[in-house]
Amino acid sequence: MKALRKHGWITGLAVILALLFVATKLIQPTFGASGVESLARAALPFAFATVAQAVVVIAGGIDLSIASMMAVCSVTAAVLMEGNGGAASLGIVFLVLAMGAAMGALNGLLIVVTRVPDIVVTLAMLFVWEGVALLILNAPGGDAAEWMRGLIIGGLPIPGLGGVPRALVVLLIVVALVWVPIRRARVGLSIYAVGSDALAAFRSGVNVGRTRIVAYGLAGLFAAFGGLSLTLSTGIGEPIPGPYLLASVAAVVLGGVVLGGGKGGLLGPLIAVFILRLVRMDLTLLSVDPNVSAIIEGTIMVVVVMIGGLLAAKGKL
């Protein structure tokens, strides 16, 4: 009970997600494993974009260039994988991940060195990375290694759980492998400390500048995973960034990460991604007017965050 209260927001989100699954089943009785698999695959790039944004927001910043960095990584992977579908593609993945981390770190470095606000620097970098993506590939194209595409398509038979979507397994493994060790290390604590109160963190001996660069570098790394997931799910690279920036901010807010920094985790935003994708699916299943769909999605988000805010103010979360 204490744990439930401590993680009240996440519990609430999990309940909403469960209710949405029930609602989906009621709307479309044939909704089953294939639907969940489609959902997981659709959520993958959104989830990586959201995780990337969450890390930066926890550190007290914001990165408006995440979708553009995803586009750069996606087109780079697609161009390099064309004709290199074998073992070489594994090297390409590591190269793209390193590139993503470097792009993110460069964002952080510019913010720390120039002392220009995060929102201004990353807005400028949004255009820079967008241009870089178009320079690498001026129109959708390239290729993706078939064996690698298979990693996120279909279900993985897990005893006791049946077929778990591979996309979900990949997402959880990547986030756990990258975030859990960092969260438990000094650098993780520093990210939260800097986001909570940079001055207090500095007085406590935290290297604020380096921590912020690490946070942006991590965001770049997760954005690279997002770009790779786009290439793997479509089989091509697209230089025009998709709708991942605003979606990532929405999921971060809905996921319980405080925009001021220092509070929240990655599990909440990840559940929020699935909630938002499932709402989108339900609206399609219900044949809701597409113009109205956007209004409903926004309204749901505002209402949930408002209720959460009220409960938090009353000390119930």
Partner 1 sequence: MKTLFRTTTWAAGLTLGLASMAAAEYTIGISNTVQGNGWREEMICAMKAQALVSGKVDSLNIAHRNTDAAGQSEDIRNLIEAGVDAIVVNPANPDGIADAVTEATEAGIVVVAVDQGVNADAAYVLSNNQEQYAYLGAKWLFEQIGGSGSVVYMRGAAGAAADDDRHKGFTRALEEYPDVSVAQEVFTGWQQDKGKQQILDYIATGIPFDGIWTSGIDNVIVDALVESDVDLVPVVGADNAGFVGQLASVEGLEGAAVTNPGSIGGAGVTLALRILDGETPEERVVLVDPALWANTDEAGKAKIAEAQNPDLDPEWPVSVQIDGWTDYSMEEIIACKGPGE
List contacts with partner 1 (CB under 8 A): 28, 30-31, 34-35, 38, 41-42, 45, 133-134, 137-141, 153, 230, 233-236, 238-243, 277, 280-281, 284-285, 287, 289-291, 293-294
- The DSSP line for 77-146 is HHHHHTT--STHHHHHHHHHHHHHHHHHHHHHHHHHHH---HHHHHHHHHHHHHHHHHHH-SSSB----H
Phi then psi for 165, rounded to 5 degrees? Answer: -55, 130
Q: Of 191 and 276, which has the nearer Cβ to partner 1?
A: 276
The Cα 10–Cα 264 span in angstroms is 10
Contact 16, 275 (CB under 8 A): yes
Q: Where does residue 165 rank: exposed (0-12), middle (13-18), buried (19+ CB within 10 A)?
A: buried
Least Å distance, CB 239 to partner 1, is 4
Question: What sign does the CA torsion over 84, 86, 88, 93 have?
Answer: positive
Q: Of 154 and 209, which has the nearer Cβ to partner 1?
A: 154
Q: Of 29 and 205, which has the nearer Cβ to partner 1?
A: 29
Least Å distance, CB 16 to partner 1, is 19
Q: Of 121 and 251, which has the nearer Cβ to partner 1?
A: 251
Q: Of 152 and 215, which has the nearer Cβ to partner 1?
A: 152
Least Å distance, CB 236 to partner 1, is 5
Least Å distance, CB 240 to partner 1, is 4
Least Å distance, CB 286 to partner 1, is 9
Q: Of 33 and 185, which has the nearer Cβ to partner 1?
A: 33
Least Å distance, CB 290 to partner 1, is 4
Task: Residue 35: name the closest of 45, 44, 25 by CA.
Answer: 25
Contact 230, 74 (CB under 8 A): yes
Phi then psi for 243, rounded to 5 degrees? Answer: -80, 45
